[in-house]
Amino acid sequence: MFMGEYQHTIDTKGRLIIPSKFREDLADGFVLTRGLDNCLFGYPMNEWKKLEEKLKALPVTKKDARAFTRFFFSGATEVELDKQGRVNIPSSLLGYAKISKDCMVIGVSGRFEIWSEENWQTYYEESEESFNDIAENIMDFDF
């Protein structure tokens, strides 16, 4: 399980040091793709396979299902950690997430997310204001 919030930087070659607490779960490779809210999603291979099966089950006759599946899979790339615990992020993904240097890596249970530091701060501040309302709206999920 991924959790926590870590501030990192992208080097000039597009490499990011993955938090040490995440590395064991990512040792066999993982998938990076465009996420929601202009961040990147990272999935260990076992979680990616589960998600892939769910997305393959979406009806191809539904326009939204086709659009989401195209968006999600076309941005996906399988990556590996180097000996220093770094990953090379494709420039197309860095551009999508508007990451140039400073970024945040956050754990979100079965996946992790990579945000530009600026976008994360904006998102966090906006979400913090409505956190209680959000919690009330999802209480039906039996917390």
Amino acid symbol at 50: K
Give tens-digit pLDDT for 82-117. 999 999 999 999 999 999 999 999 999 999 999 999
Give tens-digit pLDDT for 58-70. 999 999 999 999 9
For residues 32 and 112, give the distance between their C-alpha atoms in angstroms, rounded to a whole number. 9
pLDDT for the residue 131:
81
- The parent domain of residue 117 ranges over 5-141
Q: What three-state secondary structure class fits 42?
A: strand
Q: What residue has token string 């870590």?
A: 6
Q: What is the CATH number of the domain that holds 86?
A: 3.40.1550.20
What interhelical angle do 63-74 and 45-56 show, nearest 10? 150
R_g over Cα of the chain: 16
Per-residue pLDDT at 127 exceeds 90 = no
pLDDT for the residue 141:
60
Q: What residue has token string 């420039």?
A: 91
Q: What three-state secondary structure class fits 81?
A: coil
Number of domains in the chain: 1
